[in-house]
Every structure is written in C-alpha cells, then in structure tokens.
Structure 1
Amino acid sequence: MGGWITGTLSSMGYIGVVWLTFLENVFPPIPSELIMPLAGYLVAQGRMTMIGAVLAGTAGSILGALLLYYVGRWYGEDRLKRFADRHGRWLTLSSRDIDRASKWFAERGTWAVFVCRLIPGLRSLISIPAGIHCMGLGKFLAATALGTLLWTGLLVYLGNLLGENFERVGQYIDPVTKVVLGGMLLVYLWRVIRGTGHLD
C-alpha cells in the first residue's frame, strides 16, 4: 500500500492528497499517518507548499467525514433503535442507551467531534454518530475542520522535519492506534459477556 500511496502523491500532487485523505476517512485501513508525512516530505523537496499540503489534506478529510455523516443521518436514530431492539446483546446497546447517547451528544457533540478528530482509530468513526444524532451541519463542519487542520498540520510538519525518514511518524503513531482500537475491542467483549446489551 505504501508504494501506491507514494505513486499517487508523486503523480497527482495536491489532488492526490485530497483523494487519499478522502479515502482514508471512508476506509480507515488507509493510513493518514503515512499520507500526510509523505506530503510533508514532498514539501521538504520543494514539490509542494506547507499550506497547500495542509489545506489539501484537510479538504479531503472533510469530504470523507461528510460522507460518513450523511450515512449516519440517512440511517437515523429510529432505525438504529429498531436494530438495537433485535440485536441488543451483540451491539451492547439498547434503545434506552441510544436515548442517553443522543442527550449526551446534544450537549457535547461539538467537543466530541473535535477531540476525536485528533485520536487515531476514532477520527473517522465519530462522523457516523454525529449524523445519526442529527448534529447541526455547521457545528459538525467547524469541529471537523478545526480538528482535522491541527492533525493534518502536525503530520505534514513532522514529515517535513524528518525528510526521507517520514515513515517514522507512522511507526510512532501506529501503536497508539492499536491501543485505542484494542481498548475498544476489550470494552465491547466485556459488555457482551456481561450482557449489557439486553433490554430492561
């Protein structure tokens, strides 16, 4: 995958950055931890500008986040509740949990979206509950843009700083991603075993 990402960025420039960061948000196995540091390396070579690389990465991420937001909005809270009623145990979710989550998201949604855009493993996923709970599009875009701008800017800067060793950025961030996803998996298994998803 690394060779394909390198070839895409080298041949397509800023458009390649937009395209790959869009895909990275829709298909999380494509790593932003490689895409944006590589863009930073291209900045160091004089083939891109720092501002251009950051803006292109941010634009692609926002487009991907919007797609997932509208997927969540299309699926909707009522449909999710019906699904939870049928498969509560394996979802570790009940319709009552969804009501509580909706209330929580209404109070803290903007902050949650912003923070999650800075956490590997959660960056893409947060867009779906934002859509499901009908978070205001303006708030969603503002929180997503700000969080993404910071994350993208950091990765481009590190890639520019490390030069040919840009891949080391991914090596440092990858364990964090695995810890976050592993923690989510453990919590899920614990809730399944306890039967948290059963409806009262």
Structure 2
Amino acid sequence: MMLYLAQTTGEPTGGLAGWAIDVIDALGGLGIALLTVLDSVLFGALPIDVLLPLIGYTASQGAINIGVAIVCAAAGVVVGSLVQYTLGARLGRDRARALLVKLPGIKPESVDRAEAWFARHSTKAVLFGRMLPVVRPLISIPAGVERMALPKFVVLTAIGSLIWNGMLLGSGYLLGENWHQVVDIMGYVPYALFGALAVGVPLFLRRRNRRRKNAATAIVETNTSG
C-alpha cells in the first residue's frame, strides 16, 4: 500500500518514514494500529499527524478501506493509552513524573501542563486531549495516577481518537494528492477547540446552575403551598 504511495508521489522511503511505509505496506490495518500504539507508548515520538493523512490518501486510491483505517488507528491509540494509564496508576504521580522528565523530548513543563489540564477538566481532558498536541502525548498518565474509572477512560479515549484520527485520515482521503495541506489545516484545530471550550463550558455551567436554581425554587414553592 505505502510502497505504491512512495512510487507515485515521490514521498521519501528512508529512515522512520520508510520504516512506517514498510510496516503498513506489509500489515495493512494492523500496521496502522501498530503505528498508533507505538506513537502512544513513545509519547508522540512518531510523526503520526503526517502519516495518517498519507494513509488517508492511499485509501482514496483504493489501497485500504477508509473506515477500517480509522478504526484500526483508534484501536491502536486505545491500546497505547492503556499502557500509559497503567504506568501512571502503578508508579503514582511523583515516580511517574521523575521517569517522564528523564525521557528525551519530554520537558517538565509538558508534564505539568498535562497534569493541570487533567486536574481542571478530568473527563473533558481525556476526550478532547486527543485533539490537542500539547497534552495528547501525556494525558493518559494523570488519568492513571488519579485512577479514573477504566471503562470510562477507554470509552473517552476511543471516542476522542475516532474523532481526531477520523479527521486526519478523512481529510487526507478527501484532499487526495493535496493531502499535505492537512497538516496546516489541522494546526488550527486546537485553537478552535480552545475557543469552543472557552465559550461552551461557561454557558453549560450557567445553564446547569440556572436549572438547579429553578428546581430548588419549585421545590420550596411546592413545600410552602403544601
């Protein structure tokens, strides 16, 4: 599959990109899952946001079913995220942090950012964190440290991964030979997401508080009239 891409588009076939091309060419959907597993386990070390649009393009050429590609990519993320979750749960915050900051490419402020994001947003952090490059590589660690309910973690991770990977793969599929543009387009998604959260969360909380207040008022009026 990916060998065909390299031959027809002139994409490089050496180094890490070449290895990824060979894996997917040999294993198909399983290879896609393997790549996303490794990307998750290695804390975002692979250029997955570039590889997935590439794969989406090959799907448009009939090399693989786009639905299969999306599901396999999301499944790999879930498996890799479970490894991170387990690491956080077993090591605890201090030991996990001490280990992470020693790894190449991971800065202490990145760990702190993921922890702060999870502490503030919890459920939304796991769901939307899959779409935010600044927290995506590490968000499963604090989820494990805080022992988020495992079924909940798996469901949120799967949904977030299906959405984000579906956007990457689907955009590459739709743009065809212009799949390169996906990287630039997706660069704006975190800003749009932050904007939506900044507006949507306060509105949600305000409406929820208003409903609770109205319900409490109704109860008081009922008791008074009774």
Q: Is TM > 0.5 for Structure 1 vs Structure 2?
A: yes
SS at match of 1:142: helix
Q: Does 1:2 align with 2:17?
A: yes
Partner residue of 1:14? 29
Which digits, 9 at most, give the CA deviation of each residue in 1:118-169, with x for residues without a partner?
1113212100000011111011111111111100110111110122332332
Partner residue of 1:145? 158
Partner residue of 1:42? 58
Partner residue of 2:90? 74
Partner residue of 1:120? 133
1:40 partner letter? G
SS at match of 2:152: helix
**TM-score normalised by the chain length of structure 1:** 0.70
Q: Distance in 2 between matches of 1:20 and 1:42?
A: 16
Q: Is the 8 A contact 1:6 1:38 kept in 2?
A: no
Instruction: Provide closer, same or farther for how the CA distance between residues 24 and 77 of structure 1 changes in structure 2, counting only shifts above 3 A.
Output: closer
Instruction: Provide closer, same or farther for how the CA distance between residues 91 and 167 of structure 1 changes in structure 2, counting only shifts above 3 A.
Output: closer
Corresponding residue pairs, total? 161
Which digits, 9 at most, give the CA deviation of each residue in 1:60-113, with x for residues without a partner?
0111111001010111147569x7xxxxxx968xxxx9xx96xx74x8421111
**TM-score normalised by the chain length of structure 2:** 0.63
Instruction: Provide closer, same or farther for how the CA distance between residues 80 and 68 of structure 1 changes in structure 2, counting only shifts above 3 A.
Output: closer
Q: Distance in 1 between matches of 2:93 and 2:134?
A: 23
Instruction: Report sequence identity in percent.
Output: 37
Q: Does 1:52 align with 2:68?
A: yes
1:32 partner letter? I
SS at match of 1:169: helix
Runs of at least 5 residues in structure 1 that lack an aligned partner in the other structure: 84-89, 178-200
Partner residue of 2:79? 63
Partner residue of 2:181? 168
1:158 partner letter? S
Q: Is the 8 A contact 1:120 1:176 kept in 2?
A: no
Runs of at least 5 residues in structure 2 that lack an aligned partner in the other structure: 1-15, 99-106, 191-226
Q: Distance in 2 between matches of 1:162 and 1:10?
A: 21
Q: Distance in 2 between matches of 1:125 and 1:114?
A: 13
* Structure 1 outlier segments of 4+, above 3 Å: 77-81, 171-177
1:156 partner letter? L
Partner residue of 1:110? 123
Shift of residue 2, structure 1, vs aligned partner: 2.3
Which digits, 9 at most, give the CA deviation of each residue in 1:152-194, with x for residues without a partner?
11011111012233233234446889xxxxxxxxxxxxxxxxx
Task: Give me the CA root mean square deviation.
Answer: 2.9
Where relative contact order (Cα < 8 A, 6+ residues apart) is larger, the structure is 1
Which has more radius of gyration? Answer: 2
Q: Distance in 2 between matches of 1:115 and 1:91?
A: 22
1:127 partner letter? S
Q: Distance in 2 between matches of 1:109 and 1:124?
A: 16
Q: Is the 8 A contact 1:9 1:17 kept in 2?
A: yes
Q: Is the 8 A contact 1:20 1:35 kept in 2?
A: no
